[in-house]
Structure 1
Amino acid sequence: MNYIIVAILILFSALFSGLTLGLMSLDSYELKRKKSLGDKDATKLYPIRKKSNLLLCTLLIGNVGVNSSLAVFLGSITSGIIAGFIATALIVLLGEITPQAIFSRFSLKLGAKLTWFVRIFMILLFPVCWPIARVLDKLLGEEMATIYSKKELMKIVEEHEDSVASDVKEEEERIIKGALTFADKKVSNIMTPRTEVFALPYSQKIDVASLDVIVKSGYSRIPVYKNKLDNIVGILYVKKLIGDKNKNKKVFQACEKKVLFVDENKGLAQVFDSFLETRNHLFVVMDEFSVLSGVVTIEDVLEEIIGSEIMDETDKYEDLRKHAKQRLKGKKKRVVV
């Protein structure tokens, strides 16, 4: 009979030990989130897990009580030093190490299946555990939610995408990472630099030859300058030239006079808001001395979010910044036309 009682007590010890590690390792805020998404296991566990101090007291006191009883019954069926060591080894292996190893890996599934067991002992031990739990609640307060930094969030997304069990795709990972990092960048990090800006002089005539150059440039919007490149006075929309019957029109007659300027040190989040507010697609980038630094488009900002290139219908180069770097490697000087 004593052997049966010892076996039952070892089983109870294993359950208390495994549940203590498994349930307390579950984040209550994560369970709440999963519960709101319809996870059945989280729905079962959350009402118990949110009472963290009461749960912890119940499991620990239950485990202490079981182990104390186990020591008494083992003393009645074992004698001698060797027998004592064997009994202790079995308790540690079957009542501690093995259940904790199992519950640490399957804490949510096993915990959900054993909520009935936990509830029974929470009721039985309530008179003892409730006062202790109340004191701990007052002293320690509520559990703190786990807050992740941007780098940690990106690492989590990366790990999810790499996992076979995850439904996060590579494209989604790229977009999430882009969205998390783009607000930390400035216009100067993504703009097409001055050395690669294709611009037209204010008074240039749009004849067949110049139109051919414009079309071959591959740009849909071209800055227009007067006297010097730092003095941008308009934006020429190439699509408006198509079908224009006036073949001898000058650039200043065809361009839009409305030019929007942005500081090179402005954050991308602010610039993106400005693009949405103004419904413009291109900003001229200036430095603190009102010298032209380059140009930036809404496509440049969106590319930082989605992590891949957006091709305009008339774009010639997939990535002007990459193209600029390649050109600068081959040439020390660049003449802007």
Structure 2
Amino acid sequence: MVYMISLLLLLCSALFSGLTLGLMSLDVHDLRRKATLKDKQARLVLPIRSRGNLLLTTLLLGNVAVNAILAIFLGSIASGVLAGVLATGLIFLFGEIIPQAVISRHALAFGARTSLIVRVLMILFYPIAGPIAWGLDRLLGEELPSVYSRHELLKVIEEHEDSHQSDIDADEERIIKGALTYSNKMVGDVMTPRVVVMLLEENQPLTPAFLKQLREAGHSRYPVYSEGSKDILGILYVKDLLGRKLTGKTVKAFVDKTVYGVHASSKLDDVLNAFIKTRHHLFIVLNNEDTLVGLISVEDIIEEIVGVEIVDEFDQHIDMRELAKRRK
């Protein structure tokens, strides 16, 4: 009988010890997120874990009480120093180390299965644990959420993609990383440099030879400047010429005169917001002297986010910045 009671007490000690480490290692805000996503285990554990100090006090009181009673029963089995060594060894190995190692690996699952038991214990121990938990709540305040820096979040995403248990694939990882890092880049880092930008004069006739020249240049849009000046007055989109009668027409007849300019030092997230606000998808890029240094399109920013080059049916060159380097 004594042996059975001692074994039962040892199991209770293991449960208290394992749940103390396991449940307290669960992040309340993480549980709340999972609960909103209808995770059944998180929904069971969240009500008890959200009262962290009461939960901690209850489990520790239960563990201390069980270990004290266990030591008394083991004292009836052995005596003197042997009883102390036996109690210490059993509690240390089977009441602390093993249960904590096992339950901490499966904390949410164990917590969900024992949530009803823990609720009952919190009620039973409340006369003692309640005031202590109240004092800790007032002294320490609420638990702080786990907030990651940008670099930490990137590392977490990388670890998720590498894990066999994650449903994030390499493409999703690349896009998420791009979305988190593109705002650190400037327009000058991703724009199409002026050296590879073909400027058109507004009075240029749309002759077959000129149209052939446009096709060979391999771009889908061209900045247009006014006669006698290098000021950009608009953008010519090649698609606007398709299926149109061009005989006797000049570039000026098809120019979109809505022109927006940004500086090369502008951040990409600010420029993307400008694209969205203006509902335009091509800006000219200026330096500090307001001189044209290149072009930037919404596709250039999207490329930085998704990590791949976007080429339409009119583009013959994939990487315009690489082409600009070769032409320098």
TM score, norm. by length of structure 2: 0.93
Judge conservation of contact 1:230–1:290 (CA < 8 Å) in 2.
no
Q: Deviation at 1:35?
A: 0.8
Give the secondary-structure state (helix, strand or coil) at the position aligned to 2:285. strand
The aligned counterpart of 2:121 is 121
Q: Deviation at 1:209?
A: 2.3
Inter-partner Cα distance in structure 2 for 1:257 and 1:52: 63
Inter-partner Cα distance in structure 2 for 1:130 and 1:80: 37
Give the secondary-structure state (helix, strand or coil) at the position aligned to 1:172. helix
Distance 1:258 1:140, change over 3 A: same
| Residues 52-95 of structure 1: CA deviation (Å, up to 9, x unaligned) | 00000001111111111122222221235456434422221111
Inter-partner Cα distance in structure 2 for 1:286 and 1:153: 34
The letter of the residue matching 1:147 is V
Give the secondary-structure state (helix, strand or coil) at the position aligned to 1:289. coil
Inter-partner Cα distance in structure 2 for 1:319 and 1:217: 14
Q: Is structure 2 residue 64 aligned with structure 1 residue 100?
A: no
Judge conservation of contact 1:183–1:268 (CA < 8 Å) in 2.
yes
The aligned counterpart of 2:182 is 182
Judge conservation of contact 1:229–1:292 (CA < 8 Å) in 2.
no
Give the secondary-structure state (helix, strand or coil) at the position aligned to 2:316. coil
Q: Deviation at 1:258?
A: 2.8
Which blocks of at least 5 consecutive residues in structure 1 are unaligned? none
Deviates more, 1:268-277 or 1:12-21: 268-277
- How is 1:264-279 mapped onto 2 (pairs within 5 angstroms)? 264-279=264-279
Q: Is structure 2 residue 230 aligned with structure 1 residue 236?
A: no
Inter-partner Cα distance in structure 2 for 1:135 and 1:125: 16
Give the secondary-structure state (helix, strand or coil) at the position aligned to 1:211. helix
The letter of the residue matching 1:216 is E
Inter-partner Cα distance in structure 1 for 2:246 and 2:46: 73
The letter of the residue matching 1:320 is M
Q: Deviation at 1:199?
A: 2.0
Judge conservation of contact 2:70–2:87 (CA < 8 Å) in 1.
no
Q: Is structure 2 residue 5 aligned with structure 1 residue 5?
A: yes
Judge conservation of contact 2:205–2:251 (CA < 8 Å) in 1.
yes
The aligned counterpart of 2:308 is 308
Measured on the aligned residues, the alpha-carbon RMSD in Å equals 2.0
The letter of the residue matching 1:186 is M
Distance 1:285 1:7, change over 3 A: same
Q: Deviation at 1:240?
A: 2.6
Inter-partner Cα distance in structure 1 for 2:245 and 2:9: 96
Q: Is structure 2 residue 91 aligned with structure 1 residue 91?
A: yes
Inter-partner Cα distance in structure 2 for 1:208 and 1:65: 95
Q: Deviation at 1:272?
A: 1.4
Aligned residues: 328
Q: Deviation at 1:148?
A: 1.3
Q: Is structure 2 residue 130 aligned with structure 1 residue 130?
A: yes
Inter-partner Cα distance in structure 2 for 1:124 and 1:228: 91
Judge conservation of contact 2:203–2:227 (CA < 8 Å) in 1.
no
Inter-partner Cα distance in structure 2 for 1:231 and 1:76: 99
The aligned counterpart of 2:219 is 219
Distance 1:202 1:53, change over 3 A: same
- How is 1:1-337 mapped onto 2 (pairs within 5 angstroms)? 1-79=1-79, 81=81, 84-226=84-226, 231-325=231-325, 327=326, 331=327, 333=328
Q: Deviation at 1:104?
A: 1.1
Which blocks of at least 5 consecutive residues in structure 2 are unaligned? none
Judge conservation of contact 1:206–1:247 (CA < 8 Å) in 2.
yes
Give the secondary-structure state (helix, strand or coil) at the position aligned to 2:256. coil
Give the secondary-structure state (helix, strand or coil) at the position aligned to 1:31. helix
| Residues 2-37 of structure 1: CA deviation (Å, up to 9, x unaligned) | 222211111111001000000000001111111111
Percent identity, please.
51
TM score, norm. by length of structure 1: 0.90
Inter-partner Cα distance in structure 1 for 2:33 and 2:115: 19
Q: Deviation at 1:239?
A: 2.1
| Residues 221-255 of structure 1: CA deviation (Å, up to 9, x unaligned) | 10123478953222122223334434454434443
Q: Deviation at 1:320?
A: 1.9
Judge conservation of contact 1:161–1:170 (CA < 8 Å) in 2.
yes
Inter-partner Cα distance in structure 2 for 1:229 and 1:213: 22
The letter of the residue matching 1:174 is R
| Residues 164-186 of structure 1: CA deviation (Å, up to 9, x unaligned) | 22222222222222222222222
Distance 1:120 1:113, change over 3 A: same
Inter-partner Cα distance in structure 2 for 1:108 and 1:180: 30
The letter of the residue matching 1:178 is G
Distance 1:295 1:3, change over 3 A: same
The letter of the residue matching 1:197 is V
